[in-house]
Amino acid sequence: MDRNSIIGLILIGALLMTWSYFFAPNPQNNNTITQSDSLKIQHNQTYIDTLKSQNQTDSITIKLDSAFIAQFGIFDKFIKGESKNITVNTDLYEIQFSNKGGIPIQILSKKYKTYEGKPLPLLDNHPKNQFSYQFLHNQRIINTQELFFEPSQQNLTVSGKEKKELLFTAKIDDNKSLVLKYTLYGDHYHIDHELIANGLGNDIKNNYFELVWKNHLPRTEKSKEKMLPETSIYYLYNDEIDNLDATSQEPQSFKEQGKFKWISYKSQFFSTTLIAQKDEFEFINVQSSVLPDSHHTKVLTSSLQIPYRHAPKEAFEMRIFSGPNDIQLLKTYNLKLERQISLGWALFRGVTNWLIIPAFNFFENFTSNYGIVILLLAIFIKLLISPLTYKSHMSMAKMKIVNSLPEVKAIEEKYKDDATKLQQAKMEFYGKVGVSPLSGCLPMLLQIPILLSMFYFFPSAIQLRQKAFLWADDLSTYDSILDLGFSIPFYGDHVSLFTLLMTISTIAYTYMQQQAQGDTGPKELKYMGYIFPIVFLGILNNYSAGLSWYYFVMNMLTMGQTYAMKFFVSEEKIKLAIEEAKKKPVKKTRFQKMLEEAQKQQNTQINHPKKNKK
C-alpha cells in the first residue's frame, strides 16, 4: 500500500474515531427548575401528607379537614373522591386514564414489545410522573392533578378511521367549569388534547396556566448504555431544533422565554411530544437527569406556560404524539419532528435522507428479512461507488508501476538525504508521466459521507429493532455470542461475532492490497492498515449488529471486486501509456507551479537572509 493510500486510510480512521466525540450537541447551561414568579407561593404539603396517611387504596374516600378544603375556593368539592381508571383501546395502543387529574397515566403499545417481550410502555405508570396544570386561585396554587374530574365515559374503543371524544369535567356550577378534552383516533399515534376554561374569568389570578410535565422514561431496549445518549428533551424554538445534552451524565437544564411550537421527550426508538396548535407555549424550563436503577433511563421534567386571557371561555389546544421514531411517520407532521433522530451533521443527514433511506425502503418491498435488506443495500452502494473504486484501483496500479521504474529508483537514490527535494522531484516525474498520488486517495475520501452516514442510520433505524438474522436476535443492537462475565476496557463484556467477522475481513483485505501493491511505501506505515481494524473492533463491539453486518458484506464485496478488476486492468497497457507520456513535453499543472514558486521563495529566504537594520 503506497504512502498516499495509507494516508487516506488514516484520515478515514481518524474521522471514525472522532465521530463519537463530535456528533453530540453542546451542553446547555445548567439551571435549576423553579416555578415562575407568579407561582412562587409555597404549596401546602398538608394535602399530600393527608393523602399518604389516609388513601390506603384507590377505593377509599378521603376525608379532609374543612379548613383545608376551604383553601381551594370554588374547586373545593373536587379534592375528594375515588380514583378510577378509564381504559381506551385503539388499534395502536391501550391507554389508561385516571379521573384524578383527568390525565393519561399509562400508554402501552400494541405493536412493539420491550427487549424482554413485555408490552412496551410509551408512557410508564410511575407514581412520581406528572402532567398537571397549575394556576393561582384563592391565594393558593391549584394543581389539577390533585382534583377529581368526572369522566364522560368509563371505557372506550376506537378503531380504524374512527375518532371519539373523552372529557374530564370539573363542573363548579352551570356557568363555570374546567374541562380536559381528549380526541382519540383508531389508527393514529397522536391524541388531540384541549384545556377548556368556562366562565372562570378572574377566578384564575395569573395570566397563564403552568403545565408541569414529568416522566420517568422506562428502559425498553437491551442496552441501557446505548439508550442513555439517545434520550433527551428536544424542542422547536424560533423555528430551530435544540435539545439538552444527551451524552452528559450530569443533570442538564435550560430555560427560556419565547415561542415554542413543540417539546419532545425522546428515547432511542420512541418519543412523546406535546405540539401546540393555535397558540404556542410561551416559556419553558426543562431538566434531564440520569436514573441509577436498571428499569429506567432518565427523568425528564418540563415547566411550560400557556397563555390565559381571562375571557368568558378559553381553550388551549395541543396534540400529543406518542409513538415510534420512524422518520417517514414523523415527517408527515411537517414540524421537523424527524430532526430528533440522530443522523449526524447536515452532510451525513442529507446522504441518509436522499440516498440511504430511499434505497433501504425500496429493498424492504422485496423481503421481510432485514439481514437480506442490508445485503441488498450493500450491493447497491457498492455498485453506486464502483466508478470511484475503479478509478482508485487504476490509480494505485499506475503508481505501483511508476514507482518501480528506473527513473524513480534513481531519484530516490539521488535525494535520499533530502526529503523535500525527493518529494519535489517525484512530483515532477509523476506529472511528466501523467499520474497523481492524490487520484487514489480522493475516491476513498469521497466515500466517507456514505461511510459515516451508516454509523448514524443503523443504530437509529427502528425497522431493525428486534429483527433477527442468523445468530443475532436484534439487528438494532449488538449480537452477543459469548458473555464474558467481566468488562474489558474499550471493548465491553461480550463478543460480537458480526464485529469479529468485520474485523477479520478488513485485515484480510488490507493484506490483500499490500501484497498486490508491493513494497511501495515506508515500512513503518504499512502496519497502520492492521491497527485501525483492531481499534474498530472495540468501537463496533457495542454497536448495532446491522452496522457490522453491513461492513462485513462491503468488505467481502470489495475483495471480490478487487479480484475481478485484475481481469479488466492490463499492466502492459498502463506501461505503454506511461512510456508514451514520457515522450511528450511536460505540462505543469497549477498545483505544481505553486509548489515550485513556494520552493523558490523558501530557497531565496535561506540564501539571502534579511540583514538587521542598524
Domain boundaries, the chain: 47-341
pLDDT average, residue stretch 326-332? 93
Can you read off the three cell numbers belonging to residue 475? 439487528
Confidence of residue 28 (pLDDT cuts 50, 70, 90): very low
Cα 482 to Cα 469, 478, 487, 493, 547: the distances in Å are 17, 11, 12, 9, 19
Q: In what order do the strands lie in the sheet with 155-157?
A: 119-123, 103-113, 93-98, 85-89, 155-157
pLDDT band at 409 (very low <50, low <70, confident <90, very high): confident
Sequence-ordered strand ranges (E) for 199-339: 208-218, 232-237, 240-243, 252-266, 270-276, 281-290, 296-307, 313-324
pLDDT band at 260 (very low <50, low <70, confident <90, very high): very high
Q: Which CATH class is domain 47-341?
A: mainly beta
User: Buried (b) or exposed (e) across 541-562, using 16+ Cβ within 10 A?
Assistant: bbbbbbbbbbbbbbbbbbeeeb
11-25, 275-289, 535-549: least confidently modelled range: 11-25
pLDDT per residue as tens digits for the range 49-61? 333 333 433 433 4
Of 184, 194, 193, which Cα lies nearest the Cα of 91?
A: 184
Tens digit of each residue's pLDDT (9 = 90 or more) over 331-380: 999 999 999 998 888 888 889 999 999 999 999 999 999 999 999 999 99
Residues contacting residue 163 through CB under 8 Å, at least 6 positions apart: 183, 184, 185, 186
> C-alpha 4: how far from its chain's center?
34
**What number is the average pLDDT over the span 431-460?**
76
Q: Where are the beta strands (DSSP E) in 101-223?
A: 103-113, 119-123, 130-137, 140-143, 150-151, 155-157, 163-171, 177-185, 190-198, 208-218
Helix (H, G, I), strand (E, B) or coil at 252: strand
Q: Which residue has the cell 393514529?
A: 188
* Mean pLDDT (the chain, rounded): 80
Sorted by sequence, the CB contacts under 8 Å of residue 347 that are 6+ apart come out as 449
pLDDT band at 608 (very low <50, low <70, confident <90, very high): low
